[in-house]
Structure 1
Amino acid sequence: MGNNNGRKGPGRREILKSAGAVTATAALMSAVRASFPGGAFAQAAGPETDKVTLGFIALTDAAPLIIAKEKKIFDKYGITGANVAKQASWGTTRDNIVLGSASGGIDGAHILTPLPYLMSLGTVTAENKPTPMYILARLNYQCQGISVSNEFKGLDAKADASPLKEAFAKKKAAGKEVKCAMTFPGGTHDVWIRYWLAAAGIDPDKDVSTIVVPPAQMVANMKVGNMDAFCVGEPWNDQLVHQNIGYTACTTGEVWKDHPEKTLGMRADWVDKNPKAAMAVLMAVMEAQQWCEKMENKAEMANIIGKRQWFNVPPADIIDRIKGDIDYGDGRTVKGSDLLMKFWNGGVSYPYQSHELWFLTENQRWGKLPMDLDTKAIIGKVNREDLWRSAAKNIGAAEADVPKTTSRGKETFFDGKVFDPADPKAYLASLQIKKVA
């Protein structure tokens, strides 16, 4: 922050800064009023704390957190001590959230959408001790990838993976393990690769081994032959193609167009203790999502997140797919595809409860959650779309970007399967390969 450096009066820059500060304060106070109907805490000057520690994994969909930090959008809303901290894996993210910042961990994170549920239920935490979480926003739609080793390049496996069924069976019969990697059990990448395999008649629990590999280690592991296929977010699929180690069979948007992906998840106790600060964090991230959405910002975004302290990845490995330019690595190329990563327009940021129900249903499908789980009750605890709506109002979000209901309705997948959030049991019954009866 600058000073007058001995000048006698404020210059134009200082006046503009002062005006910006007034605008930011006004926005923050609007958030405070919205957060506390009836005027409670109306005299407070700002958020309860100016500090928050948020984790991120080196994946392009973490961009809103990084941009909010780099562009000082957190500062604009009074969170001047925002720390956006790189995590080594989703397991590390989980462990650091369980710790919380008071114990050297983190308050929240860019996180796989099902993980706040699995943590709240205690299914993936030490001693199965629940860590209550809130989902405040969806960070992005689609633009993950399912990639395959060059060993299978000639088989023409795409969204339809059935050409791999016989090849995988033959390899397994020869005494070799077929490994399909994802980033965390029950997480989005686990769900996508399982859906993709099962739709092709390949049982992800019997016909192959599903293994866990951190996103940034995917390419190196495929390079040395440790896996046959993987599902991960960008920029790792594009980097794989650039290094000619494998090819992208499909982007996940080809499995489910405009599917939900990552989430802004936070410890429930932090949000409950710091409601105004949580609102400020949420507004900053949402404003950053709006910035990330704009095509004219894509090149700058790639340059920023590619920096050493963030991804340490060449921007060339990031830029193409965030613009919808996809080189699959098998001769297929697409320019300007609508399968690019989406951050904002049309309600992307809104955390639909129907989407979270699908993730819970898929975790039930594969035996990771009990069939008698009260999904409505746990969604009611974790999903904070009410806070999102308040934040959207505070930042003046366009009506077209604020969904009217908590459900996006029926969802149709590439293989014709339909998920009706009003009847998840019918969806489960329609699936041929699953763990549940």
Structure 2
Amino acid sequence: MKNVNIGFIPLTDSAPLIIAKEQGFFEKQGLNVRLQREVSWSNIRDKLIFGEVDAAHMLAPMLMAITLGVGGLKKHLVTGYSFGLNGNAVGVSNILFNEMQQYDPDLLLKPQKSAHVLKKIIQMRSSNKQEPLKFAVVFPFSMHHYLLRHWLKSSGLDANREVQIVVVPPSSVVKALEEKLIDGYCVGEPWSTHAVKCGTAVTLITGYEIWNNAPEKVLGVTKQWADENKIIHKKLIVALYQASEWIDQADHKEQLIKYLAQPDYVGAPEASISNAIDGEIYHPDTQYCRKVPNFSVPFKYLANFPWQSHAEWILQQMKESNQIDDNIDIQKTAESIYLTDLYRETISSQGVMLPNVNHKKDGFHTQPWVLEGVELGADCFI
């Protein structure tokens, strides 16, 4: 048995790690995996860089930032596995929601118009010389950050100028709302649902509705570790793929929720986790409870395929956010971090059919579509 330490953040999309451990998929690959629950993404980053963990459940943009040495230490990271698609949501405090409802009483039924309503509030606050609204994201280099910016941009808002974006760990969002430190957030599940169930927030729009089937977390390792542990790396990918397939089966849902709710794992209430898995966007007034298909996608639509085109989109957002220089070679950087060929080689050996390309065009498909005989999901932007 090979010992492997893996760090993770208590989020619903850490499920493949938990299931691979609890259901024996790691063990079947000859791996003795120790899962380390961390409190913040900076902890994850530092422990991976300094070798305290061998691999980590990571925000996809973190790999680009760390590899390029942006915002801290520089270390070449790579990934050969994606934990899934979607799973984020944008919410606001009850106070801000009540203000927004004055402009549109049916706001919750029009998620795509939510940023336009927010714009009216922001313009009003600006004319009254009030402080800008504060929106929390989980890390500066995160899909949460870029989806939030894209949502704001859809109404013509400038995230650099008209709002203040701050960092709050996912599990601390409720406390930040209670203490009125933030006015809104973009966070991963189950913490958005939990904030609403605690009576501190209202969900306006899901990540899926901002970008259909957007990438999220990946399995991050250093390039050095990947080069020195090629067989173990492949075994990790196989075990996580099998765990994701297990998660996707409806009759495993009840057991999945019980695993995730354990204090050593996600540690959120089972009801909140269940809502998140089912894509039920909860609101205290049940007439507004709505279902979002594909709110969180752990397996179908090649959810575990590390598309280099996803990495390129993230790098482009980093440029637009002034986080990286304009002279960064996006394609070359994406190819050096996203080991798509490794994933294809590893999973194809399990008898799974995969496309022979590393890129796909996003933003053109309103419905599921087929690429080289494999079904992919819709990929439109708001």
The TM-score, its normalising length taken from structure 2, stands at 0.88
What RMSD in Å do the two structures reach over aligned CA positions?
1.9
Using the TM superposition, give the Cα deviation of residue 321 of structure 1 relative to its aligned residue in structure 2, in angstroms: 2.3
1:61-210 pair list within 5 angstroms: 61-80=13-32, 82-100=33-51, 105-126=52-73, 130-154=74-98, 155=100, 156=107, 158-160=111-113, 161-172=115-126, 173-210=128-165
Larger Rg: 1
**Cα contact 1:248–1:329 (8 A) shared by 2:** no
Aligned length: 355
Q: Which residue of 2 aligns with 1:334?
A: 290
Q: Which AA in structure 1 matches 2:3?
A: K
Q: Which residue of 1 aligns with 2:374?
A: none
1:405-416 pair list within 5 angstroms: 405-412=357-364
Q: 1:364 to 1:328 in 2, by over 3 A?
A: farther
Q: Which AA in structure 2 matches 1:86?
A: R
Using the TM superposition, give the Cα deviation of residue 245 of structure 1 relative to its aligned residue in structure 2, in angstroms: 1.0
Using the TM superposition, give the Cα deviation of residue 345 of structure 1 relative to its aligned residue in structure 2, in angstroms: 1.7
Using the TM superposition, give the Cα deviation of residue 411 of structure 1 relative to its aligned residue in structure 2, in angstroms: 1.8
Structure 2: runs of 5+ lacking an equivalent: 101-106, 367-380
Q: 1:253 aligns with which of 208, 213, 216?
A: 208
- Could you tell me how far apart the structure 2 residues matched to 1:189 and 1:318 are? 19
Spell out, residue by residue over 1:73-93, the C-alpha distance to the aligned partner (whole angstroms, 9 max, x if none). Answer: 11110112x111111111111
1:344-423 pair list within 5 angstroms: 344-397=299-352, 399=353, 402-412=354-364
- Could you tell me how far apart the structure 2 residues matched to 1:413 and 1:241 are? 31
Using the TM superposition, give the Cα deviation of residue 319 of structure 1 relative to its aligned residue in structure 2, in angstroms: 0.6
- Could you tell me how far apart the structure 2 residues matched to 1:250 and 1:314 are? 22
Q: Which AA in structure 2 matches 1:141?
A: L
**Cα contact 2:59–2:141 (8 A) shared by 1:** no
- Could you tell me how far apart the structure 2 residues matched to 1:120 and 1:273 are? 18
Q: Which AA in structure 2 matches 1:380?
A: E
Using the TM superposition, give the Cα deviation of residue 51 of structure 1 relative to its aligned residue in structure 2, in angstroms: 1.3
The structure where strand makes up a greater share of residues is 2
Q: Percent identity?
A: 27
- Could you tell me how far apart the structure 2 residues matched to 1:329 and 1:185 are? 31
**Cα contact 1:295–1:323 (8 A) shared by 2:** no
Q: Which residue of 2 aligns with 1:23?
A: none
- Could you tell me how far apart the structure 2 residues matched to 1:159 and 1:90 are? 29
Q: Which residue of 1 aligns with 2:223?
A: 268
Using the TM superposition, give the Cα deviation of residue 174 of structure 1 relative to its aligned residue in structure 2, in angstroms: 4.5
Spell out, residue by residue over 1:152-194, the C-alpha distance to the aligned partner (whole angstroms, 9 max, x if none). Answer: 2242273331111121333353433410000111211111111
Q: Which AA in structure 2 matches 1:53?
A: N
- Could you tell me how far apart the structure 1 residues matched to 2:131 and 2:112 are? 25
**Cα contact 2:206–2:295 (8 A) shared by 1:** no
Q: Which residue of 2 aligns with 1:212?
A: 167
- Could you tell me how far apart the structure 2 residues matched to 1:174 and 1:293 are? 50
Q: Which AA in structure 1 matches 2:290?
A: V
**Cα contact 1:137–1:264 (8 A) shared by 2:** yes
Provide the secondary structure at the position in 2 that maps to 1:145: strand
Q: Runs in 1 of length 4+ with deviation above 6 angstroms? A: none
- Could you tell me how far apart the structure 2 residues matched to 1:138 and 1:171 are? 40
Q: Which AA in structure 1 matches 2:53?
A: I
Using the TM superposition, give the Cα deviation of residue 136 of structure 1 relative to its aligned residue in structure 2, in angstroms: 0.9
Q: Which residue of 2 aligns with 1:21?
A: none
The TM-score, its normalising length taken from structure 1, stands at 0.78
